[in-house]
Structures are given as C-alpha cells and as structure tokens.
Structure 1
C-alpha cells in the first residue's frame, strides 16, 4: 500500500502546482517533499513528476492519479478539523497585514467583549484565500469587490492622504510645488504606485515619485514617517492613533479617493454561523 503521507504530499503538489508551497502546507522542506515524491513513485512503479530547472510538474500518469485522489485529503482535513473544533466556538479570519496591525487588532478587544466565547484565529497574508477550499470562515480583502462566488460587504473605500512628522511640515502648511519638493517621499514595496497616483491626480511632480526611500511594508513606512525620514501617502484610518498622539500630522492637502476598498468576504455556500454574522455586523459598525 502506498504511503499516505507521500500521497498527501502528492495531492498538495497537484493542488498548488509549486513544490515550495506544497512543502510549506505539509510542514516539510522542498527537498523532503521531493524525497516523498520519489518514495511514492517507487511504491507505484511509475514516474509521477518531471524534475527540471523550473521545479516539479506532473506527468500524464501523475495527472491521472491526481484526478483519482481528487479532494479526498481536503475532506479528511475538514472532517478532523470539525471534530477538533466541536467543543469550541472558533472564528478563523484571514486578512492583509496592514489592515490587521493598523486597524483590526487595536479594535478586536471590543469584539471580544461582546462575544467572549468566540476564539479568534487571525492570519495575515497577501495571497488570495480560497473560501471554498481553505479552512477560513471569512476574509478581509482589498480590491473592488468583484469576486465571483463570494458574498462581500464594503467596509470602506480607500483614499490617499499625505502624512508626515510635525517637524517636516512646510512653513505655512499650504500645498505648493516648492513645499512638496522640499520633502523626501517614503514608499512601501506593495504600494509603489501610491505616490505617483497622488501626484498625478493633484497635477504636481516630485523627483522621488518613482524612487525615494523604499520600505518593505506600510507599517515600516509609517514608522519611518514618525522618525522624520519623509512623507507618505496613506489612508488616514491607518495612522489615526499616531495623528491623535501628535506623532504625525496631515496637512490640509488634497485627499485622493481610490477605486479600491476593504471588504468583508465569506462563502455564500457555507452556513452563516453566529460568530461570522456577529463579526461581520461588528466590522461594518466599527468601520463607519
């Protein structure tokens, strides 16, 4: 009989199409995953994956086996997880890091106070979550809300406003080309287009529009702004506490509305449980 662990590894590789992601899901190294594939091939007496410089791909026999296995391991994982969760009321949430750290987590104690029996499991990731296949009750996504097969509710429409340390505020505070050019611009890796978009909308230019200081995340960009390294453009909701504390200021400069927003999303094919409904209603109230 073929090794169940090796079959599980194969099913993950077939699902994700990438050895690194399959290995991560299984909790092993890519080399260990490759070893499991060789073990399975030895047990079945056939070649299941092709190995080249680009990674692992399924052979015709591998595709036939993947079709036969189908979603068996996913259903097993779901059944075991459901059994383990039977005595607890869990709420599994996936969202993006900036939303989690800058807005959601500071407010979660409020939700816990009104739903004290709900155990929250929060994950932050930039990848799109498959609400049908993955074990999340809901997600908070950034986008335009056009997702097929998803029940989505808009929390807020995103905007861009300029923020900086008080000591960097230009004399007089008014927006002029000279005042803007005196500032260094801060960028985050995932939002490289924010400053160019804001500048184009207000019809001004800056030498740092496509360069300047680059930070890995918006959270780091906010910390850099507090330290006086430059100015950033961001949704005010993510720096509200810093503004109230006086660590950052937002001059009375144009606020640029974006087409994207933050959305609460869930699968309409799953029952709307009490924790999910309560979290959705609380989110909508807290966001407005």
Structure 2
C-alpha cells in the first residue's frame, strides 16, 4: 500500500482505465484484475487525494469535476510515458512511432479541413492515436488538455509555441444553381441575394463590402447560423451567398457544389495557427503530426482534390 506521501501509481493507472471505459468492470477486463481490485484501487486514490473521483451509478460510473480534471493530466502524463518508453524499447532502426496526439481545433476547421485529410496521417503512422476535440475557446482556457491546438489568429502565452499553418482567404461563394436566375457579376449584384452569416463572422461581410467599394449594401435579407460549417452547408444547399474560407471549401469547389462568382477582392481573415505546448515539442508522435499538417497545408489546392475546369463567365474563379 502506498505511504501517506507516496504517489499511488497503480491506483492512478486503474483510475485512467476506469475513466476511459466508464466502468469498473471494463477497467478490470483491460487490466486483467477483478472488479473488486479496481474498486479497491479507486478508493485508495480517492482517500489519498481527499476528493471523490467518480459518481457510482446503476450502470457504470461517471467522473466528478475533480475526476475530469485529474483525467486530463493523467492522460497527458501516460501519453508521455508511452512515447518515452517506446523509444527506448527498440533500437532506433527498428523503432515504430507510437503515442497519442490530442488535437484541439475549431469545429469548422476540424469538420471541413482536418477530418477529410486525417486518414493520410493515420495510414502513414498506424501506431499513433489521434484524439480530436473541438472548441473555439482560447487555448489558455483549455489548460493541458491538448498537445496541438489549431486556431484562427495568433495565441500568445507562456509555455506555448505558435506558428502559422495557412492563410485564411475568403470570397463570396454559393451554389451555382442560384446564379441562373440572379447572376453575380459585380459586388452590386449581391443586393439581390440572401447573405449568410455565422455568429463568429458578423463583421466579415461589411468589411468585404467596404473593400469592394459598395459600403452599406443592403441584400434581400440576412440569414445567420450558429457555426461556420452550418453557414457553408447553407451555401451548398442554395440558401444564399456566404463569405467562405477558401481552405475549408476546396473540395466543394472542385466538385462543383460551390463556386466563387467574384474573383476579388479577397477578404483576408486571421491566419490559421498551430499552437503547441513547448514541453511537447520533442514528443515523436507530436513532431510527426506537426510535420504532416504543415506539409499538407502547404500543398497547392490542385494537389488536394481534382480540379474541374470552370468558365470565367461572370468572374468565376478556379
């Protein structure tokens, strides 16, 4: 049994398994011990910490707030141990990259850019587990619950490195069907259309109109949606015109689901940034993911998806 001040490592490992499975029975199977032994280790850890970690329920268990906070740190620590010991177990020539990479990204970026490409990384590194979470909160409020963050705009903070992933260039985009009755040849033509917004991009259209020389333009109406990915989906469905982030709609443009009827001006939003805690930079799995995503972001659009030939009529861009 652990002493009063001795860290109960076995109990912490048991806690991680129970939290991950949401069940003492599931943890017992993973650890090849009895359900009773798991319960004993959890009680030991709760007594050692002086706080409850689980709520016991009829079916399984649920983490308390203290338990959820502990799990974040324990998962990160076990990931580091896994990576460190994996590097030492085999000669360098026989090493196979393994570990866990926790990526925290903006929801729209994860859905429309990262997930469609992620199989390239997992196929190249089958031993690396990628865990993706999404939030638009500043990463300093996320704490230690990420290894790589992807945000719009630079995030400064102690203990993190921020570097540009790719520029965020935006143009008016819409389903080509709505142009048959109401063509868009100039910015003025947008007055005959519904403009799509998201809650986080309310100022984008006014800034674009000012740059296009039509400040104060009044459209048929506005339609606001909660998230950027809903705004883009509404454009695909023909509900109006969105000011779309070009990196997020490359596949839709290539497939003809969306077109950019006006080639200029481009609205330049904050660049997408890669944010990595400095103490994670030497981890092999994280280094591999960083190298992969930077290379993927640097590829020209024509290499990411087949490009269909589009006509320049009405200023359509390729």
- For normalisation by structure 1, the TM-score amounts to 0.69
Instruction: Give the aligned partner of residue 228 of structure 1.
Output: 238
Q: Distance in 1 between matches of 2:64 and 2:271?
A: 30
- Is structure 2 residue 206 aligned with structure 1 residue 196? yes
Q: Aligned in 2, Cα 1:147/1:175: closer, same or farther, shift over 3 Å? A: farther
Matches for 1:265-280 after TM superposition, within 5 Å: 265-280=275-290
Instruction: Give the aligned partner of residue 152 of structure 2.
Output: 142
Higher alpha-carbon deviation: 253-262 or 217-226: 253-262
Q: Distance in 1 between matches of 2:199 and 2:73?
A: 35
Unaligned runs of 5+ in 2: 1-46, 55-62, 83-97, 299-318
Q: Distance in 2 between matches of 1:3 and 1:148?
A: 28
Residue 185 of structure 2 is aligned with which of 174, 177, 201? 174
> Alignment length, in residue pairs?
227
Q: Aligned in 2, Cα 1:91/1:180: closer, same or farther, shift over 3 Å? A: same
Deviation at 1:148, TM superposition (A): 4.7
Aligned 8 A contact 2:99 2:285 in 1: yes
Q: Cα RMSD over matched residues?
A: 3.1
Q: Distance in 2 between matches of 1:186 and 1:252?
A: 16
Instruction: Give the aligned partner of residue 82 of structure 1.
Output: 77
Cα deviations across residues 202-247 of structure 1 (Å, max 9, x unaligned)?
12132249x7101111111112112211100021111111111111
Q: Give every structure 1 segment of 4 or more consecutive aligned residues whose post-TM-superposition deviation is greater than 6 Å.
A: none
SS at match of 2:243: strand
Instruction: Give the aligned partner of residue 238 of structure 1.
Output: 248
Q: Distance in 2 between matches of 1:80 and 1:200?
A: 48
Deviation at 1:144, TM superposition (A): 3.3
Deviation at 1:142, TM superposition (A): 1.2
Matches for 1:102-121 after TM superposition, within 5 Å: 102-121=112-131
| More relative contact order, 1 or 2 (CA 8 Å, 6+ apart) | 1
Higher alpha-carbon deviation: 84-93 or 133-142: 84-93
Aligned 8 A contact 1:157 1:257 in 2: no
Deviation at 1:111, TM superposition (A): 0.7
Matches for 1:256-267 after TM superposition, within 5 Å: 256-258=266-268, 260-267=270-277
Unaligned runs of 5+ in 1: 10-22, 29-72
Q: Aligned in 2, Cα 1:278/1:207: closer, same or farther, shift over 3 Å? A: same
Instruction: Give the aligned partner of residue 214 of structure 1.
Output: 224
Deviation at 1:252, TM superposition (A): 3.1
Q: Distance in 1 between matches of 2:64 and 2:168?
A: 33
Deviation at 1:97, TM superposition (A): 0.2
Q: Distance in 2 between matches of 1:79 and 1:131?
A: 18
Aligned 8 A contact 1:167 1:228 in 2: yes
Residue 104 of structure 2 is aligned with which of 74, 86, 94? 94
